[in-house]
A and B are shown apart, each in its own frame.
Chain A
């Protein structure tokens, strides 16, 4: 084997290793995003109450994660992804507030959050008895309304802890605050939700949840 052949072989070997790593990274990211995207969409949708806007926010979060944090360890991706998403949601609310002020200035009626109809926006039922479907749908609708009504930080803490299943440390990273703050926000959120949902969520014995 002459020198040129040896150099070419080493070069090909290096390229192959790099290519394999890139493919592996892409596969890991694809797996991560596929695993998180549905829950992320629903979390964003509950926060902004608009599916199309939520889809845009999730897509932006995906792109930013891949662009900026694909080099990080995959165990860091979940809190980082949700941090990006929560920042996007906060920015969205700020833009909405400004837009509403401008619309009010020009004498139009701003879009009311309460115009959102979760029943109309809900997908078609699949394979469930109508009464069971209705009951679960109503439970989720009342939960969505109650969660949306929480202060922003409490809502974030509750959704990340309960819906996404992040631990306190992961939630703190995602929210950009201390673990103590996460515990406080989460505790307040649960208490507020319990008070709010007692009228809507019957207990297992069919009674109302609270007041007994």
Chain B
């Protein structure tokens, strides 16, 4: 005898249904607990709302960091580094510190010179 497609499906369905009927009490109990745990979600729907955004937020943050790293030109560090070195030289040099302390004076001096030039002109 050769089964048709329909007969094979029917036989498979019968065997499957029988295996479902034979599930043991322990498994049925676990299923029952799972169902009640799922239904408890109805009572506390908002509890996990923020968790839903966690994967998206994580991915967005990772993408942002990746884009920043990729977009960052290699020359930026070269430009910043001398500036930082210059800052350090200014801060560490004794003369420069004195100049910085008198910055208001030099500004006033520049302004005064400009006004004098205007008066003369």
Chain A interfacial positions (CB closer than 8 Å to B): 22, 25-26, 29-30, 33-34, 37-39, 41-42, 51, 55, 58-59, 62-63, 65-67, 70, 122-126, 136, 139-140, 143, 161-163, 165, 187, 190-191, 193-194, 197, 201, 203-205, 207, 209-212
Q: Are B22 and A55 interface neighbours, CB within 8 A?
A: no
The CA-CA distance from A55 to B23 in the complex, in Å, is 12
Within 8 A of A (CB), among B7-23: 8-9, 11-13, 15-16, 18-20, 22-23
B27 within 8 A of partner (CB): yes
Knowing that A37-B31, A38-B20, A38-B28 touch, tell me 6 more A-B residue pairs with CB under 8 angstroms: A22-B42, A30-B35, A41-B27, A62-B38, A67-B45, A203-B2
Q: Are A123 and B48 interface neighbours, CB within 8 A?
A: no
Q: Are A123 and B39 interface neighbours, CB within 8 A?
A: no
Q: Are A41 and B5 interface neighbours, CB within 8 A?
A: no
- Our pick among B18, B31, B42 for the contact of A41 (Cβ within 8 Å) is B31
The CA-CA distance from A161 to B3 in the complex, in Å, is 18
Write the nearest CB–CB distance from A61 to chain B, whole angstroms.
9
What are the residues of chain A within 8 A of B2 when measuring CB–CB? 203, 209-212
Q: Are A66 and B34 interface neighbours, CB within 8 A?
A: no
- Our pick among B5, B22, B42 for the contact of A29 (Cβ within 8 Å) is B42
Majority DSSP secondary structure for residues of B touching A: helix
B1 within 8 A of partner (CB): yes
Q: What 8 pairs between A and B have smallest CB-CB spacing?
A: A203-B1, A62-B38, A59-B34, A123-B24, A140-B15, A66-B41, A63-B38, A163-B16
Q: Are B38 and A41 interface neighbours, CB within 8 A?
A: no
What are the residues of chain A within 8 A of B13 when measuring CB–CB? 162-163, 165
Q: Are A41 and B16 interface neighbours, CB within 8 A?
A: no
Majority DSSP secondary structure for residues of A touching B: helix
What are the residues of chain A within 8 A of B18 when measuring CB–CB? 136, 140
Q: What are 9 residue pairs bridging A and B, where the CB atoms are less than 8 Å apart in the complex? A: A26-B39, A26-B42, A29-B39, A30-B39, A33-B38, A55-B27, A63-B37, A143-B16, A194-B5
Q: Are A62 and B34 interface neighbours, CB within 8 A?
A: yes
Q: Are B38 and A59 interface neighbours, CB within 8 A?
A: yes
What are the residues of chain B within 8 A of A59 when measuring CB–CB? 34, 37-38
- Our pick among A30, A67, A123, A139 for the contact of B41 (Cβ within 8 Å) is A67
Write the nearest CB–CB distance from B32 to chain A, whole angstroms.
8
Q: Are B23 and A162 interface neighbours, CB within 8 A?
A: no
The CA-CA distance from A124 to B41 in the complex, in Å, is 34
What are the residues of chain A within 8 A of B34 when measuring CB–CB? 37, 55, 58-59, 62
Q: Are A162 and B12 interface neighbours, CB within 8 A?
A: yes
Within 8 A of A (CB), among B27-63: 27-28, 30-31, 34-35, 37-39, 41-42, 45, 48
